[in-house]
């Protein structure tokens, strides 16, 4: 398991006092209010304030005092230490834990390896099959189970073939 989890991406500075606007990669922008510190690049920042509005979060970080300092963070990922991450309900997993899992059918047929998950209303999974990439949405009925302990994501083959971009 990865020590750090990506929770957002810095979009831009917000205002002149160093606040940054971020795109959450969590279920809700409100989730970012739970973190006391974040890692951006190689620097750990204490979170002084966090507010959520319109699906975005706005962070005020210690050491980022003006727009110029905030501009240097544009486009970077916002990471948190896994130990600070909240416990998930039993039926939920962190995206970082799905990357690298084998994608198999309910019958046990290996389809590929999960290489990426793009967060969206319906997450978009990318799998690698040899030198080819296949994308599919996690639409209703596609994913049957996710077993991060054993590194296996099980899908319904018929439903997978209906929605996958082969």
* 104 and 80 inside one domain: no
Q: What CATH number did the domain enclosing 48 receive? A: 2.40.30.60
Of 21 and 55, the structure prediction assigns the larger pLDDT to 21
Task: Give this prediction's pTM.
Answer: 0.74
The answer to whether residues 7 and 84 touch, using CB atoms and an 8 Å cutoff, is no
CA distance 81 to 129: 31
User: 141: domain range?
Assistant: 95-163
90 domain-assigned: no
Total domains, the chain: 2
Confidence at residue 1, expressed as pLDDT on a 0 to 100 scale: 64
Model confidence over 70-90: pLDDT tens digits?
999 999 999 999 888 877 778
19 domain-assigned: yes
Contacts of residue 139, Cβ cutoff 8 Å, sequence gap at least 6: 122, 159, 163
Model confidence over 19-30: pLDDT tens digits?
999 999 888 889
DSSP 25: -
* 15 and 60 inside one domain: yes
Model confidence over 86-136: pLDDT tens digits?
777 787 888 888 999 999 999 999 999 999 998 888 899 999 998 999 999
126 domain-assigned: yes
The domain boundary residue, chosen from 84, 104, 130? 84
CA distance 61 to 72: 13
* 100 and 158 inside one domain: yes
């Amino acid at each position: 398991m990865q020590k750090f989890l990506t929770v957002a991406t810095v979009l831009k500075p917000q205002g002149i006092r160093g606040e940054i606007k971020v795109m959450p990669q969590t279920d809700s922008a409100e989730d970012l209010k739970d973190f006391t510190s974040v890692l951006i690049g190689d620097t750990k920042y204490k979170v002084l304030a966090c507010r959520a509005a319109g699906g975005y979060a706005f962070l005020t970080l210690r050491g980022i005092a003006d727009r110029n300092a905030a501009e240097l963070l544009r486009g970077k990922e916002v990471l948190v230490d896994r130990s600070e991450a909240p416990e998930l309900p039993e039926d939920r997993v962190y995206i970082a834990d799905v990357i690298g899992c084998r994608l198999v059918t309910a019958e046990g047929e290996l389809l590929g390896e999960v290489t990426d998950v793009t967060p969206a209303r319906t997450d978009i999974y990318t799998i690698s099959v040899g030198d080819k990439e296949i994308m599919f949405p996690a639409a209703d009925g596609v994913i049957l189970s996710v077993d991060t302990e054993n590194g296996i994501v099980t899908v319904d083959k018929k439903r997978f073939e209906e929605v996958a971009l082969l």
